[in-house]
Structure 1
Amino acid sequence: MNHYGDELTLRLSGIADTRLLLDDQALTTFMNDLVTRIGMTVIAGPLVATEHGPPEKAGKSAVVILAESHAAIHTYPHLREIFADIFSCKPFREADVLDEFHRLVGDFHVSERTLSRRGEEWPRDVQAARHLWSGRRTIVVA
């Protein structure tokens, strides 16, 4: 792999079964199952939070911090939609991600999809990476 990692973002629409999209335990289980299936290592989470507001903005957000990066979803049951973001320095199969969503909600269609190769200019040499990182940041010491 000649880049740091892949980031898959999805918008899933026309979700057949929205019952579990407001269920904290179901979403916690889903996030664990998803990252296990794609071979990632959980270091924190899953954390599930409720988004309140009008129906078009209400739902749940779930995130898990991975040794390889992160995975997050945002559910909008009233709109029958889910947004997902999976970023990893370890390769994973998009088909596995979609299969896990099918297990959670049944049928849907992918209305938005982006697969980005992240960090194509990121150096593999640790010293070069440190130089690149420190040269682009201002460090404030309190």
Structure 2
Amino acid sequence: MISQGTDHYGDELTLRLSAIADTAPLHDDQTLVTFMRELVERIGMTVIAGPLVATEDGPPEKAGKSAVVILAESHAAVHTYPHLREIFVDVFSCKPFREEDVLAEFRRLVGDYEIAERKLTRRGEEWPRDITAARRLWSARRVHA
């Protein structure tokens, strides 16, 4: 489980999935809208806006779809490149979530794939949860800026 301690704000999981077995879902707006809703539901997040899907036309190496959903816990986004059989993924949350659940949802969407890139980043390690401490940190940084 990607866990959140009191020492950081949250976790950001970024992935590049390659060798996508079934690229058909990556061409379809409604499929991506449904997928984004199901993904964030599975990882226990709360949608506050979206999903929104946009199409990028152009040469095959740049053509694809982007889908994003704004969450009460932060955001989730995917960028698809069907002609390259690739997907870029970004899930950022202040609430713990399981990477295995994210990967399982993509397997359900496209079948087999390879993980070409994977990075888990602890975000906001100096970001205090206490509002008084946050004000002091902000004020100190503003004076030195």
Give TM-score, length-normalised by structure 1: 0.93
- 2:76 is matched with 71
Tell me the CA shift for residue 136 of structure 1: 4.8
Residue 54 (structure 2) aligned to one of 49, 56, 79: 49
With over 3 angstroms needed to count, the CA separation of the structure-2 counterparts of 1:108 and 1:123, relative to structure 1, is same
> What residue ranges of structure 2 are gaps of 5+ in the alignment?
none
Show structure 1 runs of 4+ deviating over 4 A: 134-137
Mapped pair 1:62 → 2:67: yes
Aligned amino acid, residue 125 of structure 1: D
Shift of residue 53 of structure 1?
A: 1.0
Deviations 1:68-125 (A, max 9, x none): 0000000000000000000000000000000000010000000000001111111121
Q: In the alignment, what sits opposite 1:110?
A: 115
1:83 alignment partner in structure 2: 88
**What CA deviation, in whole Å up to 9, does each residue of 1:30-75 have, x standing for no partner?**
0000000000000000000001111000000000000000000000
Cα distance in structure 1, aligned partners of 2:140 and 2:65: 38
How many Å separate the matches in 1 of 2:66 and 2:136?
36
Alignment RMSD? 1.4
Distance (whole Å) between structure 2 residues aligned to residue 117 and residue 109 of structure 1: 24
Cα distance in 1, alignment partners of residues 139 and 94 from structure 2:
21
SS at match of 1:10: strand
- Aligned position for 2:22: 17
Identity %: 80
The unaligned stretches of length 5 or more in structure 1 are 138-142
TM-score norm. by structure 2 comes to 0.91
Separation in structure 2 between the aligned mates of residue 75 and residue 135 of structure 1, nearest angstrom? 42
Match of 1:31 among 36, 39, 46: 36
Distance in 1 (alpha carbons) for counterparts of 2:99 and 2:81: 22
Q: Call closer, same or farther: CA 1:12–1:127 in 2, change over 3 Å.
A: same
SS of the counterpart of 1:116? strand
The alpha-carbon deviation at position 132 of structure 1 amounts to 2.8
Deviation at 1:17, TM superposition (A): 0.2
